[in-house]
Chain A
Amino acid sequence: MSNKEYISSGVLESYVLGSATEQERLEVERIARLYPEVQEEIVAIQDALNEYALTHQQQPPAALKQKIWSKLQDIDVAPVRSEVKQGAKIVSINSAPSFNFQRLLAAASVTLLIGSTALNVMLYSELKNTEESLTALNAEKEFFAQQFKVQSTSLQQTQEEMAFLTQPSTRVINLKGVPKFSDALATAYWNTSTHDLYLKINNLPAPPSEMQYQLWAIVDGKPVDAGVFDLADNNVILQKMKSFNSAQAFAVTLEKKGGSVAPNLDAMYVIGNV
């Protein structure tokens, strides 16, 4: 899933609303840490909901402020009270312990504490491991989803090309190499009812970097631009070119990058009549 898709999936809205599941929440926070644009979107949603919440604002009763402040002082003071002042001597209340039950209890509780701490450490490290493998699995899942998408697109493209090629109105025109480039070969597929034109490059030498191949349709004796093309990667079998209602021949020349208005006939590689 791309960030754009992730942003529009609705999961960020439910995260900010607080209605996301625990798993979604962890996932959102992980992705937000990785991608600033996702984090920005979260903040924008938060700001909108903050504004919405603010429409309900109202003054609390005046006396509440002092009441809350006293309460806060209590919690701040509490830990200080239990601290033993420096220099103060602790005297045991129980002056003559014969069988010290308290001491036994203390020992037992220390043992329990050590045991439970050890258990906590163990559980915590297990939790960490689980979290790590979850993150790894999620990353893997995303990778496979991405792969699947690439494959589906390529399959769909192939199916469309297949459908085009097998139509009865699709003509196959072999563009053969001129004597200077006798090895060169290309094939034009032209559908005379839809007028779509596709090109397959069977064999053309790699062009210099500032040059590009250009396809021409010969219409009523004149060359008309049918589009420039690169030697495509292996994934693309057919390249879609411009559409033509009528044409008597197709030819490929090597032109400056971006194509020319008129073909350079000295650099013609292949030609074929319809």
Chain B
Amino acid sequence: MVKRKYTEPELIDLLKDKSEVAFNALYDNYSPALYGIVMKIVNSEEAAQDVLQDSFVKIWKHFSNFDRTKGTLFTWLLNVARNTAIDYNRSKHVKYQIRTTDSIVSIIENQSTSKSFDHIGVKEAMVYLKPEYKEVIEILFFGGYTQEEASKELNLPLGTLKTRARTAIRDLRLLLKDKVSEQ
């Protein structure tokens, strides 16, 4: 998990007055996660910085739209960043590149360079997620494809795609559960 100095309810409260303190807390808590997902989608540092900025503008302007009965603050922030990045790709007619192997590569990178992230354990667990499942999560979640579009792109019948999406998330949850019980 991200290291959080503020709990979610504290942060939500703080964000109401839109102060610099609130911004700092928000940015420090979530920018690595948001930047990571944006980089993953747009695949360019320059574009990712623009998209991250646009995402924060949206978060700042539309914070009143956040509805905590629908999910956590983190889920909402991720969705704003994800949708902004997907929209960016669409506006540039960039097609999302599925890279199911990159997490293995970045595990090795992370082990040697970045000790500040304590997310390596989950990353290792993700290696056990079957490539055909990972591919489906990637194209739907990061690529922003509809199920019909994804079924064409991956050349899979729609029914198979739907089953895989469901199984992929079930497996993901099982892997994460194992991960948590190990700790």
Interface assignment of A80: CB less than 8 Å from any CB of chain B: no
- Minimal beta-carbon separation of A53 from chain B (angstroms): 5
Interface footprint category on A: 35 or more
Interface assignment of A99: CB less than 8 Å from any CB of chain B: no
> With A54-B122, A57-B32, A60-B52 in contact, is A72–B172 under 8 Å at CB?
no
Instruction: Please tell me if the beta carbons of A59 and B173 are within 8 angstroms of each other in the complex.
Output: no
CB within 8 A of A53: which of B56, B69, B78?
Answer: B78
Which residues on the A side are within 8 Å of B1 (C-beta)?
54
Instruction: Please tell me if the beta carbons of B172 and A59 are within 8 angstroms of each other in the complex.
Output: no
Which residues on the A side are within 8 Å of B20 (C-beta)?
69
Which residues on the B side are within 8 Å of A85 (C-beta)?
none
- Count of chain B residues near A, Cβ 8 A: 58
Which residues on the B side are within 8 Å of A110 (C-beta)?
none
Instruction: Please tell me if the beta carbons of B165 and A13 are within 8 angstroms of each other in the complex.
Output: yes
Q: Count of A-B contacts with CB under 8 A?
A: 140
> With A42-B71, A49-B141, A68-B52 in contact, is A54–B36 under 8 Å at CB?
yes
Interface assignment of B97: CB less than 8 Å from any CB of chain A: no
CB within 8 A of A60: which of B18, B23, B31, B61?
Answer: B31
Instruction: Please tell me if the beta carbons of B70 and A29 are within 8 angstroms of each other in the complex.
Output: yes
> With A10-B166, A60-B52 in contact, is A53–B37 under 8 Å at CB?
yes
Which residues on the B side are within 8 Å of A71 (C-beta)?
53, 56-57
A45 to B75, CA, bound (A): 11
Instruction: Please tell me if the beta carbons of B79 and A10 are within 8 angstroms of each other in the complex.
Output: no
Which residues on the A side are within 8 Å of B40 (C-beta)?
56
Which residues on the A side are within 8 Å of B165 (C-beta)?
10, 13-14, 17, 19
- Minimal beta-carbon separation of A32 from chain B (angstroms): 8
> With A53-B78, A54-B1, A72-B57 in contact, is A13–B166 under 8 Å at CB?
yes
CB within 8 A of B32: which of A10, A13, A47, A58?
Answer: A58
Interface assignment of A44: CB less than 8 Å from any CB of chain B: yes
Most buried by B among A55, A61, A65, A67: A55
Interface assignment of B47: CB less than 8 Å from any CB of chain A: no
Interface assignment of B11: CB less than 8 Å from any CB of chain A: no
Instruction: Please tell me if the beta carbons of A17 and B140 are within 8 angstroms of each other in the complex.
Output: yes
A76 to B60, CA, bound (A): 9
- Minimal beta-carbon separation of B176 from chain A (angstroms): 5
Instruction: Please tell me if the beta carbons of B173 and A44 are within 8 angstroms of each other in the complex.
Output: yes
Interface assignment of B94: CB less than 8 Å from any CB of chain A: no
Instruction: Please tell me if the beta carbons of A55 and B126 are within 8 angstroms of each other in the complex.
Output: yes
Interface assignment of B2: CB less than 8 Å from any CB of chain A: yes
Which residues on the A side are within 8 Å of B53 (C-beta)?
64, 67-68, 71
Instruction: Please tell me if the beta carbons of A50 and B52 are within 8 angstroms of each other in the complex.
Output: no
Which residues on the B side are within 8 Å of A121 (C-beta)?
none
- Minimal beta-carbon separation of A264 from chain B (angstroms): 54
CB within 8 A of A18: which of B32, B35, B56, B79?
Answer: B79
A67 to B50, CA, bound (A): 10
Interface assignment of A236: CB less than 8 Å from any CB of chain B: no
Which residues on the B side are within 8 Å of A16 (C-beta)?
169
Instruction: Please tell me if the beta carbons of A60 and B35 are within 8 angstroms of each other in the complex.
Output: yes
Instruction: Please tell me if the beta carbons of B71 and A18 are within 8 angstroms of each other in the complex.
Output: no
Interface assignment of A139: CB less than 8 Å from any CB of chain B: no
Interface assignment of A267: CB less than 8 Å from any CB of chain B: no
CB within 8 A of B82: which of A13, A18, A33, A67?
Answer: A18
Which residues on the A side are within 8 Å of B31 (C-beta)?
59-60, 64-65
Interface assignment of A163: CB less than 8 Å from any CB of chain B: no
- Minimal beta-carbon separation of A67 from chain B (angstroms): 7
Instruction: Please tell me if the beta carbons of A53 and B27 are within 8 angstroms of each other in the complex.
Output: no
Which residues on the A side are within 8 Å of B162 (C-beta)?
10, 14
- Minimal beta-carbon separation of A242 from chain B (angstroms): 40
Which residues on the B side are within 8 Å of A19 (C-beta)?
140, 145-147, 150, 165
The 8 A-B pairs of least Cβ separation, nearest first, read: A57-B36, A10-B166, A60-B35, A56-B36, A57-B32, A17-B140, A19-B140, A55-B123
Known: A45-B173, A55-B103. 11 other contacts (CB 8 A): A19-B146, A42-B71, A43-B71, A48-B169, A48-B172, A50-B74, A57-B33, A57-B36, A57-B37, A57-B117, A58-B39
